[in-house]
Amino acid sequence: MKIIEQRRALNKHIRKAKVIFLMAHKDLDLDALGSCVGLSLLLKKRKKDCYIIIDDKKHELGVEKILKELEGCIPIIKGEDIDKYIYPNNKKNLLIILDTNKTELVQNQSVLKKIDQKVIIDHHDLGKTTIKNALIIDDDEVSSTCEMITELTEFYDVELDPYYATVLLSGIVLDTNNFTLKTSAETYYAAYYLANLGASAKKVQYLLKQDIEEYTERQKLLTDIETINKKIAFTKASPYTIYRREDLAKVADTLLFFNNIEASFVIGKIGKDTIGISARSLGNYDITNILEKLGGGGNHYNGAARFENTTISKVEQELKKAISEEEGE
């Protein structure tokens, strides 16, 4: 695994730092939060001052549950308050970005400008907007960032409390869709390792529980599915409904369970003036090329793109054009 191969470079950055900030992508999911929490524990063992930056105002249910349960146990700050915690000598500050490598997707872009020393730990493909001037530890063959952090904690023999092992396991379960996507022998071993530390499968299912109203709203996206060349599933939402980014992702996951479907694309509003695309693949169809044409990115298995001040219809046209070009039509 690349994070173990690059551990010396990572260790060098950590050793030099007096204060370390952890930051993941906007709209935290269990993989983003779980990897931040897991790494913060490893850094705590190293006696490092460490803070997790979270600016999201709303959270998905699993993330909200963890944040409530860990209130007061892990140091969380807002990006706008970072100046209160930055070490006077900027070379002694370190920013570690997890579960994304894109400038526009991080919790707070202004933080990127305030801290010179940066490390990226991620499992998504690199792209045009990948954060510059950083040590990049990116492994797109790994299921999740939580799997990468699990590997690191095992290598350094950091004994995790069963609760924290459960949080890491929940991130792996989420990103593999219950071990049905992008799952390798190493993924199963990481789950086995966390289970031996006391991770609770029952608790993971509790964290993954869904809101009935949100579930019902997502199901509406499954009533008007198109297929392209009998292998790509495509659907779009009503322009009058705003979805969370993870809602579109869950629908894209569901579409892969239909017979013969190798890739899926879901379009919907994720903000008042923002349209999002969530894409998924079984690994045999390269969704990355399509998403990059639209200004997005991802890896062979999942990805996304976002558009400002446009309409779902226009995004649909752009997406279908990109798919046609990829298909050579």
pLDDT digits (tens, 9 = 90+) for 29-38: 999 999 999 9
What mean pLDDT is predicted for residues 307-318? Answer: 94
**Percent of the chain predicted with pLDDT > 70:** 100
Q: Which pLDDT value is given to residue 286?
A: 84
Does the structure show a pLDDT above 80 at 328? Answer: no
C-alpha distances (whole Å) from 306 to each of 31, 89, 176, 269, 316 are 20, 37, 23, 9, 12
| Mean pLDDT confidence for 273-290 | 90
281-315 burial, b at 16+ Cβ within 10 Å, e below that, comes to bbeebebbebbbbbebbbbbbbbbbbbeeeebeeb
Exposure string over 205-242, b if 16+ CB within 10 A, otherwise e: eebeeeeeebeebbeebeeebeeeeeebbbbbbeeeee
Given this model, what pLDDT does residue 295 score?
86
Domains and CATH numbers, the chain: 2-207 (3.90.1640.10), 212-327 (3.10.310.30)
Higher pLDDT, 41 or 247: 41
- pLDDT at residue 260, as a whole number: 94
Considering only 72-76, 116-120, 243-247, which range has the smallest mean pLDDT? 243-247
Across 164-199, b (16+ Cβ under 10 Å) vs e yields bbbbbbbbbbbbbbeeebbbeeebeebbebbeebeb
Question: Which pLDDT score is estimated for 60?
Answer: 87
Q: Among 83-92, 131-140, 292-301, where is mean pLDDT lowest?
A: 292-301
Q: What percent of the chain has pLDDT over 90?
A: 77
